[in-house]
Amino acid sequence: MRPHDYVRRPFVSRPSGVLLRHGPGRHAMSSASGPNSCPTPSDRTTPGRQWEIFLVAANLSGPDLEVISVSQLAAEVQLRNDTVGAVAGFLQAVGLLRGARGNYALTSAGWAIAEMHKQDETQARLLLQAQFLEHWPAASTLECLHDAPVDQKTLGRRLHKDLPGKSRRGLYLIEWLVRALIVQRDSAMRISPSAALLASGRRSATASGPEPQRMAEQGTLMGMTRDELRSLPPRKYIAVLDQLAALVALDPA
């Protein structure tokens, strides 16, 4: 059975002080993060298994982006609560989940990626790429790869730096970066930045300074600001991405 083929179970755990009813089937929640704002992937389970956990979380959270507990997700994937909680922390850090204190729901972007994965894995990875480019792993990776391709083990050490956890977390992060098409890996296990990562670096450079930065923050896509895009219902969010892809296909320049 594939991860997204799991049968959804109704969510029944609603700890007080964390969740608030926010329309049918949805809940508002605190998204406060822990002391580590740059968490690397958990070292307790492989990146491939972490991806499966994300897909199962998507199935449980559903199109209404319902809140699920870590214990519920752990029971579904048959792993320990602390292992799944550590995975959820990283998924939250890259914008695929939102939540806190052991209760999470998918973001609109996370749901769009999980749904696209059922239809077209490559397109899902492109959506994942766009998501990763907005979060800390992309900037840190570009800094490490600015001069030339780097051996995978060396890059793993650089990415992990002084962050908590075992050193293999840096290598696990590379696996996520490969999946998200942020980096490319050759047969000699050398890592180089993808064209999208390089382009994001150039955009950041041209947007430096108070006025360009203010304009970038106020920029729109398909007539909507970034906050407006993120607040869209999942189906509408996917529809906007499809429209954008169609426009790019018509005029790739």
**In this structure, what token pair is assigned to residue 160?**
């992990």
Q: Give the other-Cβ count within 10 Å of 111's Cβ.
A: 23
pLDDT digits (tens), the chain, 253 positions: 444 444 343 333 333 333 333 333 444 454 444 444 567 899 999 999 999 999 999 999 999 999 999 999 999 999 999 999 999 999 999 999 999 889 999 999 999 999 999 999 999 999 999 999 998 889 889 999 988 899 999 999 988 885 666 778 999 999 999 999 999 999 999 999 999 999 988 766 555 555 444 444 445 555 566 666 666 777 667 766 766 665 555 455 4
**Single-letter residue type at 171:** L
User: How remote is the C-alpha of 103 from its chain's centroid?
Assistant: 17
Quick check: 68 and 99 in contact, CB under 8 A?
no
Enumerate residues 6+ apart whose C-beta is below 8 A from 204: 139
Nearest CA to 92 among 48, 50, 141? 50
Domains, the chain, ordered by start: 18-115 (1.10.10.10), 120-219 (1.10.10)
Residues β-bridged to residue 97: 106
Quick check: 96 and 55 in contact, CB under 8 A?
no
Q: What's the whole-model pTM score?
A: 0.70
Quick check: 18 and 100 in contact, CB under 8 A?
yes
